[in-house]
Structure 1
Amino acid sequence: MSKKVLIVDDEANIVISLEFLMQQAGYRVDIARTGHEALEKLASFQPDLVLLDVMLPGISGFDLCQRIRQTAAWASMKIVMLTAKGRDVEITKGLALGANAYITKPFSTKALLAEVQKQLRAVETTQECTGEMNSRY
């Protein structure tokens, strides 16, 4: 079964290019353009990974990241923050709130795809019988 990626961004051009990139890589994709819409999609789509912008209408990406980490059913979802907010304080905040990676715009599609693949490989290496992560990743 192919992995599922939720793209959470309100910038149409970014969404179109990310959707194309993720679909070409073989992932099932859904899109949310606001923080509130993202909460609905998290529950219905159950993604393996979320590409999350910080600047969103309604709920910010930082707040959404924190909510994901505080919700037991979503705790194992991988979060890659993908945003123009690239100051050290913002990167530190995103990672402290539970993001697995933080990539600033503009971004290299190759680097982004490599990060997504890395994060999803980590999901695959979770040991089924113990729930423990394989320490090689």
Structure 2
Amino acid sequence: MTRILLVDDEPELLEAWSFALEYVGHSVDRARDGREALEQLNRHRPDLVITDLMMPGMNGEDLCRAIRQNAEWADIPILLHTSAYAGTPVNERLWDSFLRKPARLEVFLTTIENLTRG
């Protein structure tokens, strides 16, 4: 079973995507912002992190940077799922894949499958 950490500050979206992911057999941990996500990462290492970009407290870009800078987590695939502009410095590879919100369910699940195949 693939363990996914889903990070988004919109409760309805967090609930809907969690339900969809659990329905197809994934285990889902949830966080409402980057700080909460780091706490979850310290408890359980996920196989994939899916994060929004614009969140209060610690945003998605800062979360991705923190994951990439931690030797224990640096190889965890990250899917950025956001409606915001996602520009990042060329020399930084902060996420592995990007989907614009709202992504179609089939595209969302296929992207997850591709990122977790190993």
User: If the length of structure 1 is used for normalisation, what is the TM-score?
Assistant: 0.81
Percent of residue pairs identical? 35
Bigger fraction of residues in helix:
1
Which consecutive unaligned segments of at least 5 residues does structure 1 have?
124-137
Matches within 5 A, 1:126-137: none
CA RMSD in angstroms, aligned pairs only: 1.5
Residue in structure 2 matched with residue 80 of structure 1 by the alignment: 79
Length, aligned pairs only: 117
The whole-number CA distance in structure 1 between the counterparts of 2:104 and 2:9 is 19
The whole-number CA distance in structure 2 between the counterparts of 1:94 and 1:25 is 35
The whole-number CA distance in structure 1 between the counterparts of 2:13 and 2:89 is 20
Which consecutive unaligned segments of at least 5 residues does structure 2 have?
none
The whole-number CA distance in structure 2 between the counterparts of 1:56 and 1:35 is 8
Question: Are the aligned partners of 1:80 and 1:99 in contact in 2 as well (CA < 8 Å)?
Answer: yes
Give the greater-gyration-radius structure (CA): 1
The whole-number CA distance in structure 2 between the counterparts of 1:120 and 1:24 is 17
The whole-number CA distance in structure 2 between the counterparts of 1:35 and 1:71 is 14
Report 1 or 2 for greater relative contact order, CA contacts < 8 Å, sequence distance ≥ 6: 2
SS in structure 1 of the partner of residue 88 of structure 2 = helix
Residue in structure 1 matched with residue 44 of structure 2 by the alignment: 45
- Cα 1:61–1:81, aligned 2, differ >3 Å: closer, same or farther? same
| Structure 1 counterpart of 2:53, one-letter code | V
Deviations 1:89-119 (A, max 9, x none): x2x4188442000111111011000000000
